[in-house]
Structure 1
Amino acid sequence: MQFNIERVLDLDKWERLQEKIAIATHLAIILVDYRGKPLTRHSQVKPFCNLARQHPLLSQFCEKCDARGGLEAVRTGKPFIYRCHFNIIDLAIPIMVDNNYVGAIMAGEILLSEQEELEQILNLDHHPDVQAFRIEHQELIKEYPKFSLADLNNTASMLEQLSEYIVTEAIKKDYLITAYKQTLRLNKRTETINASTDNAPIDLTLLQEDIRQSVLEKRLGEFDGIYQAKNKLLQPAVDAVFANKGRHIDLQTLAQLVHLSPSYLSRLLKEEFGVPFSQIYSELKIYWAEKLLLETDMTIGEISDELGYIEPSYFIRSFKKNKGSTPLKWRQQNQN
């Protein structure tokens, strides 16, 4: 299924940014889909190209150049600078999602002193309409800004990094919102969300926290309570935590198990879980407590001892802080 970049990218905001970039760089810029079809208005389009893109036949050649330029950029894995069918310099910056080409930023409409060294992506030098149009509007071509190839390469690199960041962040935001809606049924906060949520502003920080907690519980259930670390270096430390539910294991002990410094292990664990290890460790204790509350007849004091809490009162405070109710009340509510 072809990814639809319009679904995640706010084209109105993009166009405003695109216009400012075009003014600052003196390049004409347009966003196209994977077929070369325009998704935005053309920013700072030059008069000659503007006339060509309004021509019923020549506009098709322009779109074909855009499409071929984008595909060539995908093939080379970097911005592709080329000559169009009018020998005007353009460049294509591919937009990739999961290694799939979904569109490109097309920029250019300039001249280079060494432009004959560049590939002409679509040769129509002998096409009568192209020749006639070029001759008729020759004076407009002379007005194009002139760049050095080095300056154009630097500008292309800047646009590549900027577009990658913007598109990646847009996709991440769309994923978070979609994933949040899909995981609401797992989330303990569902009861506080009403029907107006879909139209209300969404706090991405809260979404990330809700998703992280839901995914953690889902993965624990799938693996029968044994968490499978994405970073394999961490698996011995994770296994040690699960194998010693009844005692407190500090970061120093875990670091010795995996032969890493405590500070480096702490960073890796935060990357793994999205929060400091102390927080995830506390959440794990509560997760195990929930299972014991539902699946056994153990008393609150026995569960506290089983999970290595210093005393039942501390266990009760920790549980209430995390779940919003005492362990006994939570057991009564959930067993019913």
Structure 2
Amino acid sequence: MKITLTDIHQIVNPAKFQKIQEDISQATELALITVDYKGVPLTTHSNCSEFCKKVRSSKYGGYCEKCDSHGGLEAARIRKPFIYLCHAGLVDFAIPIIVDDLYLGAFMAGQVLLAPEDAEHEPEHILHRIDSTIDISCDANLQESYSQLPVMRLTKIIALANMILHIGNYCVEVAILNKTVTEITSKDKKTKSDKAPDYSYDSAYNNTKTIINRPAKESNKLLEPAYAYIKKHPEEKIYLSKIAALCNISPSYFSKLFAKENTGNLSDYVNHIKVERAKELLHNTDWSIRTIAESLGYDDCGYFIKVFKRDTQKTPLEYRNDFTTTSISKINIMNQI
């Protein structure tokens, strides 16, 4: 059963989310608004700065809308938070809301100044090809509002962007889960109405088992990017947060889905893939065990040997020696024929 969400309202209830948005803005000092894929606001702007209100009502207001539009589309393109400088030099960022590669909307946040210590790491200007510079020095009113803008370190801005990304992913997960339950319940009710009710123990057990297993089948597709990446990059150290981000879900939700799909945890799966790659290297190279361990991202050779033996019941050296002995035996047999 394919669960499809095509409307931002299925994920974000504007009336209910408005209060959450306002609390986030109050706690973080960020201005925040939620928009659909066209850039049309779903919520009212929370904590919008006086400076931005004045700029938006001036001749430069059109550039503000362009910044929002470009920022949201760029975030959708890279499928992660996009941090940039608006035409007035303020730091803003967009958090995409994506379901099955469909861009439904975004959380737009920012209206802060970058701390001077991070000047060399300044984000790119979103409208760098447009001459839209605001000369604040000629407007005392703007100068006063500009001086009241919050100043933040880049590390904090990145952390806040990731926090809002996790909130967005959680909203998507809940929406998918709710629709899954609704459709399963609806289908089960229809099935029951088409036949005489069966109140036996076996029937109740089988119905429960079916409901539990259906969402797990859906999770296969969600986890495909993780499986593909791990198999393609056995040399990397794999972190839960990065792999979950590849699947556009939160680390906690990834762990739950992965546990349903596998007998072990993510670490066990990654180690198994690395051991399979180690076998190839033991067969086809004369690299030392330490070199092979390091090439697979293991800092501790002893731990690599332990992982390898747990997976194969042999140490890497024993495995190589057995393979070499077998190969020599086969050559000798061929020479005798």
TM-score (normalizing by structure 1):
0.52
Give me the whole-angstrom Cα distance separating, in 1, the residues matched to 2:152 and 2:79. Answer: 23
Q: CA deviation at 1:102?
A: 1.2
> How far apart are residue 74 of structure 1 and its match?
2.5
Given that 2:5 and 2:176 are in contact with CA atoms closer than 8 Å, whether structure 1 keeps it comes out as no
1:151–1:184 distance in 2 versus 1, CA, 3 Å: same
Once the two structures are TM-superposed, the CA of residue 152 in structure 1 deviates from its matched residue by 1.0
CA distance in 2, matches of 1:142, 1:100: 39
Amino acid at match of 2:99: V
Partner of 1:169: 174
Q: Which residue of 1 aligns with 2:36?
A: 33
Match of residue 51, structure 2, among 36, 48, 53: 48
Tell me: CA distance 1:91–1:186, structure 2 relative to 1, closer, same or farther (3 Å). Answer: same
Partners of 1:191 and 1:22 in 2: how far apart? 55
Q: What is the alpha-carbon distance in structure 2 between the residues aligned to residue 3 and residue 126 of structure 1? A: 37
Once the two structures are superposed, residues 162-200 of structure 1 have per-residue CA deviations (whole angstroms, 9 ceiling, x without a partner) of 2211232123313432453355321359999xxxxxxxx
Equivalent in the alignment of 1:148: 153
Unaligned runs of 5+ in 2: 198-205, 221-255, 262-337
Match of 1:106?
108
Equivalent residue letter for 1:101: Y
Tell whether the 8 Å contact from 2:87 to 2:132 is kept in structure 1 after alignment: no
Cα gap change, 1:179 to 1:143, in 2 (>3 Å): same
Q: 1:16 aligned to 2:19?
A: yes
Q: What's 1:97 paired with?
A: 99
From the superposition, tell whether residues 181 and 109 of structure 1 become closer, same or farther in structure 2 (CA, over 3 Å).
same
RMSD across aligned C-alpha pairs, in angstroms?
A: 4.1
Counterpart-to-counterpart distance in 2, 1:99 and 1:90: 24
- Alignment match, 1:88: 90
- Structure 2 counterpart of 1:177, which letter? T
1:172 maps to amino acid: L
What displacement does 1:63 show? 2.5
Distance, in Å, in 2 between the alignment partners of 1:33 and 1:230 is: 26
Quick one: which amino acid aligns to residue 173 of structure 2? T
Aligned to 1:246: none
Q: Give the distance between the partners of 1:229 and 1:65, measured in 2 at CA.
A: 36
- Tell me the distance in 2 between the aligned counterparts of 1:16 and 1:215: 34
User: Match of 1:78?
Assistant: 80
Identity level (%): 35
Shift of 1:214: 7.4
- Residue 213 of structure 1: CA displacement? 4.6
- Structure 1 runs (4+) greater than 4 angstroms displaced: 130-134, 188-192, 209-216, 228-231
Equivalence map 1:236-255=2 (5 Å): none
The 8 Å contact of residues 63 and 132 in structure 2, kept in 1 or not, is answered as no
Find out whether 1:6 has 2:9 as its counterpart. yes
Which residue of the partner structure matches residue 282 of structure 1?
Answer: none
Q: Distance in 2 between matches of 1:189 and 1:137?
A: 69
Q: Aligned with 2:160: secondary structure?
A: helix
Alpha-carbon separation, structure 1, partners of 2:138 and 2:149 = 14
Distance in 2 between residues matched to 1:92 and 1:119, nearest whole Å: 14
Q: d(CA) in 1 for partners of 2:35 and 2:183?
A: 25
Distance 1:142 1:230, change over 3 A: closer
Kindly state the Cα deviation for residue 154 of structure 1 after the two structures are TM-superposed: 1.3
Task: Tell me the SS of whatever aligns to 2:72.
Answer: helix
Task: Tell me if structure 1 keeps the 8 A contact 2:87–2:126.
Answer: yes
- Distance of 1:137 and 1:31 partners within structure 2: 26
Q: How far does residue 108 in structure 1 lie from its aligned partner after superposition?
A: 0.6
Q: Does the aligned pair in 1 maintain the 2:84–2:126 contact within 8 Å? A: yes
- Asked whether the equivalents of residues 180 and 210 of structure 1 are also in contact (C-alpha less than 8 Å), the reply is no
Q: Matched residues in 2 for 1:49 and 1:59: separation?
A: 9
- Aligned pairs, number: 210
Deviations for 1:272-305, whole angstroms, at most 9, x for unmatched residues? 7xxxxxxxxxxxxxxxxxxxxxxxxxxxxxxxxx
Task: Tell me how far 1:35 sits from its aligned partner.
Answer: 2.0
Aligned to 1:137: 142
Cα contact 2:60–2:132 (8 A) shared by 1: no
Q: Which structure 1 segments of 5+ residues have no match?
A: 193-208, 219-227, 232-266, 273-336
> After superposition, where does 1:124-273 map in structure 2 within 5 Å?
126-127=131-132, 131=135, 135=139, 136-188=141-193, 213=210, 271=260
Question: What is the rounded CA distance, in whole Å, between the counterparts of 2:108 and 2:176 in structure 1?
Answer: 20
Distance of aligned partners of 1:8 and 1:74 in 2 relative to their CA distance in 1, 3 Å threshold: closer
User: Which residue in 2 is equivalent to 1:61?
Assistant: 63
> Deviation string for 1:77-112 (max 9, x for gaps)?
321110011111101111110122111111111000
Q: Mean alpha-carbon deviation: is it higher for 80-89 or for 169-178?
A: 169-178
The alignment partner of 1:137 has SS state of: helix
Distance of aligned partners of 1:52 and 1:4 in 2 relative to their CA distance in 1, 3 Å threshold: farther
